[in-house]
Homo-oligomer: A and B are copies of this chain.
Amino acid sequence: MKIGFIGTGVMGRSMAHHLLDADYQLNVYNRTKEKADSLVEKGAVWKDSPAEIATSSDLIFTIVGYPEDVEEVYFGEDGIFQNLTANKIVVDMTTSIPALAQKISEKAREKGAYALDAPVSGGDIGAKEGRLTVMVGGEKETFEKVRPIVENFSSELRFFGPAGSGQHTKMVNQIMVAGTMTGMIEMFAYAQKAGLNLEEVVKTVSGGAAQNRSLDNYGSRIIKEDYSPGFFVKHFVKDLKIALNESKAMNLELPATQQAFELYKTLEDKGHGDEGTQALIKLWWS
């Protein structure tokens, strides 16, 4: 089986390397060609467009930046659907809009092909170590077919239901993270104003009811004022915007998530979109 891989940024590149390491034949495409160099050196075959990837591959993974990029890669002039034929499988791993996942699924079905939405969580380190969490929507049979391949870069792979369910689950994850991030940042803002020793505070708080992974991952970085990105502010803003739009469509109010979105949007508007999400503390410490 030939695998196509579209989107070889920080996340995609690591995932594609795991597939090469497992001896799969790989066709690759990326908007910025140089970001695929290390894969081509290892034996992947460069293709000049998503359409050519579709022609030359049986199973196609995509992981790009924004829903607009997903639209372009699938439905654009040189997009996947130009050349996708029956029985092929497409798997979009971009964090994107559930309705777009449904649209891709329907278009694939028209062509006798199959589609999954399979956004990931775990960041650059999870991708590098091959232990991403993957949340899948689509048809169960298709999921079972791609499972052994995805397991090359995932340690937690789970099926959630029809097309769009993977994206919905990723939104759920981001809503939870919005809570841990805003709580943690306001915690630091208060602790510093109250004159407390921040290292000591983190040690105490981490041991009890307030423990959370955001604090584990970012607590010491914030104390060192290290704002290098594990996860970009601009991507978190995108994700929360999708979550809130979806909520609105479901007649659901999420005031705490809305508040988190507004804080992160303010941070992005101030020019911090390319920093890590822990940079939210800059709204207080600037």
Q: What class of interface size applies to chain A in its complex with B?
A: 35 or more
**Across the interface, which residues of B come within 8 angstroms of A172, CB to CB?**
187, 190-191, 194, 196, 201, 205
Tell me the nearest residue of chain B to A175, going by C-beta. B187
| Copies per assembly | 2
Asked if A161 is at the interface (CB within 8 A of a chain B CB), the reply is yes
Contact with B along A191-216 (1 / 0, CB 8 A): 10111110011011101111111110
| Cross-chain contact of A184 among B179, B187, B247, B284 (Cβ < 8 A) | B179
Using Cβ atoms and an 8 Å threshold, which residues of chain B touch A182?
179, 183, 256
Say yes or no for A181: interface residue by CB 8 A criterion: yes
Residues B252 and A156 in contact, CB atoms below 8 Å apart: no
**Chain B residues whose CB sits within 8 angstroms of the CB of A257 once the complex forms:** 183, 186
User: Chain A residues in contact with chain B, CB under 8 A?
Assistant: 98, 121-123, 126, 133, 135, 156, 158, 160-161, 165, 168-169, 171-187, 189-191, 193-197, 200-201, 203-205, 207-215, 217, 231, 243, 246-247, 250-252, 254-257, 259-260, 262-263, 284
A-B contact pairs, 29 of them (CB 8 A): A122-B209, A123-B209, A156-B208, A158-B203, A160-B200, A161-B196, A168-B190, A169-B201, A171-B194, A172-B191, A173-B210, A176-B215, A179-B183, A180-B180, A180-B210, A180-B212, A182-B183, A186-B255, A186-B257, A189-B254, A190-B246, A190-B250, A190-B252, A190-B254, A194-B250, A209-B214, A209-B217, A211-B213, A256-B263
